[in-house]
């Protein structure tokens, strides 16, 4: 039977789209099932801020009455305006191990993007670079942490057989953040000099300050990351949604702001205890016992993901990044979380990758972003 790709138009289509990875990966022992309710909300145009500055179309592939693959096609006006291009993206990629499935999925996504005036397609990303991003090509044996995708090894083979070309790789670095002996001594020297030499101190966020601190985060992100591949500035609606999502995983011990005496934000670190350790026990559902496991999450999580650690260019000479690294190691000495992963970090970001080496880190996961040119876009 041939593969037929159809757009997601009905509630039944949406349910098939959401359910596919549960069928494909539930027996791997590695994949972490997200909450089904959260996935439906994330895909909703009324409940995801992405749709205030972007558009998307979901597709499912059927063969012989069964769903065998899925993909999304989307574009982000904020990204296109900032980058001055007409790129589109694809994401939410899931499929059976069959070379006949991916080409028609990619063709459906490409055709939709061409009709929207896009001339290039990059991905996978769900829906932006700040969501789950990249295709796992190394580290299949490791459980994904919060907002990390997981894919079986055959996805890379099928993507490259289908003609997708590598755009860039992303690294995840493992850090034993309770072991200070792994860090180069210069990091502690820089941290000790931060306040007396530069007047910069580090404080923790609170739930009450979270939304205003996310405005500070956006200031740092938009300055420090603007030259990086794939950058698009955060908008108010994105920060509003991020604040709501972070309330569910917020831990003030790990959320850090570095400020000058005048109140200027020099740097931000957003680190999250890995709620995926809880979600794995919940198996995608709140009932019957998922809610109870979630309430016990503090006793379950022993690892963190450092999702963002950025310094404004004007303060990159001060050693504030080193001070934030030391704060992470000190916090791990007091908290149940003693190790973690940092990233993603672009393979081209030499400074951050060298900093990870200086702290005794090692690359444990690699994600790949692919691209395909679209003839006739626009």
Q: Phi and psi at residue 356, in whole multiples of 5°?
A: -65, -40
Mean pLDDT, range 105-111, rounded to an integer: 98
Mean pLDDT, range 295-308, rounded to an integer: 82
The two tokens of residue 358 are 């200086």
Mean pLDDT over each residue of the chain, to the nearest integer: 92
pLDDT above 70 for 291: no
What are the structural domains of the chain?
Answer: 4-169+369-373 (3.40.630.30), 177-360 (3.40.630.30)
Which residue matches tokens 């190790």? Answer: 339
Specify the pLDDT at position 299: 74
For residue range 191-232, what is the model confidence (pLDDT) as tens digits? 999 999 999 999 999 999 999 999 999 999 999 888 889 898
Mean pLDDT, range 111-122, rounded to an integer: 97
The two tokens of residue 313 are 């260019």
Alpha helix positions (H), the chain: 11-25, 36-43, 77-83, 102-115, 154-161, 185-198, 210-224, 236-247, 276-282, 290-295, 297-300, 320-332, 350-358
Q: Distance between alpha carbon 144 and the CA centroid of its chain, in Å?
A: 11
- Compute the distance between CA of residue 364 and CA of residue 306 in angstroms, rounded to an integer: 14
pLDDT above 60 for 189: yes
- Partners of 72 in beta bridges: 58, 91
As a whole number of Å, the end-to-end CA separation of the chain is 35
Specify the pLDDT at position 89: 98
Q: Return the higher-pLDDT residue of 370 and 332.
A: 370
pLDDT above 90 for 156: yes
How, if at all, do strands 135-138 and 362-373 pair?
Answer: antiparallel
- Compute the distance between CA of residue 21 and CA of residue 325 in angstroms, rounded to an integer: 36
Quick check: 267 and 311 in contact, CB under 8 A?
yes
The percentage of residues in the chain with a pLDDT greater than 90, rounded to a whole number, is 74
pLDDT above 50 for 378: no
Burial of 141: CB neighbours in 10 Å, binned 0-12, 13-18, 19+: exposed
Mean pLDDT, range 119-136, rounded to an integer: 95
pLDDT above 90 for 254: yes
Q: Over 114-133, what HEC string results?
A: HHCCCCEEEECEECCCCCEE
For residue range 16-43, what is the model confidence (pLDDT) as tens digits? 999 999 999 999 999 999 999 999 999 9
pLDDT above 60 for 359: yes
Quick check: 257 and 216 in contact, CB under 8 A?
yes
Among 193, 212, 202, 217, CA closest to 253: 202
Specify the pLDDT at position 287: 47
Specify the pLDDT at position 288: 53
| Helix, strand, coil share (%) of the chain residues, nearest 5 | 40, 30, 35
pLDDT above 50 for 332: yes
- In order, the DSSP letters of 159-199 are HHHTT-EEEEEEEEEEE-TT-GGGS-HHHHHHHHHHHHHH-
């Amino acid at each position: 039977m041939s593969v037929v790709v159809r757009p997601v138009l009905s509630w039944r289509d949406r349910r098939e789209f959401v359910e596919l990875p549960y069928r494909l990966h539930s027996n791997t022992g590695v994949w972490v099932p997200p909450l089904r309710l959260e996935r439906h909300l994330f895909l909703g145009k009324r409940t995801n801020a992405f749709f205030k500055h972007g558009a998307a179309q979901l597709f499912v592939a059927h063969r012989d009455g069964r769903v065998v693959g899925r993909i999304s096609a989307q574009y982000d006006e904020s990204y296109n305006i900032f980058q001055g291009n007409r790129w589109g993206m694809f994401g939410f990629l899931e499929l059976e191990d069959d070379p006949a499935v991916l080409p028609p999925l990619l063709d459906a996504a490409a055709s939709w993007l061409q009709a929207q005036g896009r001339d290039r397609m990059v991905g996978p990303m769900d829906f932006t670079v700040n969501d789950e991003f990249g295709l796992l090509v190394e580290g299949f044996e490791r459980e994904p942490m919060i907002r990390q995708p997981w894919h079986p090894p055959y996805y890379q083979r099928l993507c490259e057989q289908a003609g997708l070309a590598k755009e860039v790789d992303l690294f995840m670095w493992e850090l034993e953040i309770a072991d200070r002996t792994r860090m180069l001594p210069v990091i502690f020297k820089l941290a000790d000099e931060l306040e007396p030499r530069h007047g910069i101190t580090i404080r923790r966020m609170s739930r009450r300050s979270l939304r205003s601190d996310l405005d500070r985060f956006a200031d740092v992100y938009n300055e420090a990351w603007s030259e990086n591949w794939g950058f698009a500035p955060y908008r108010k609606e994105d920060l509003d949604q991020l604040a709501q999502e972070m309330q569910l995983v917020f831990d003030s011990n790990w959320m850090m702001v570095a400020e000058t005496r005048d109140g200027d934000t020099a740097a931000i670190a957003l680190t999250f205890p890995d709620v995926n350790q809880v979600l794995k026990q919940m198996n995608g559902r709140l009932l019957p016992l998922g809610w109870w496991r979630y309430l016990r999450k503090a006793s379950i999580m022993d690892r963190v993901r450092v999702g963002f650690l950025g310094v404004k260019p004007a303060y990159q000479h001060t050693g504030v990044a080193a001070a934030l690294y030391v704060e992470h190691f000190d916090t791990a000495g007091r908290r149940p979380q003693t190790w973690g992963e940092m990233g993603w970090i672009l393979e081209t970001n030499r400074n951050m990758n060298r900093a990870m080496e200086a702290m005794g880190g090692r690359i444990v996961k690699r994600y790949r972003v692919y691209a395909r040119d679209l003839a006739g876009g626009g």
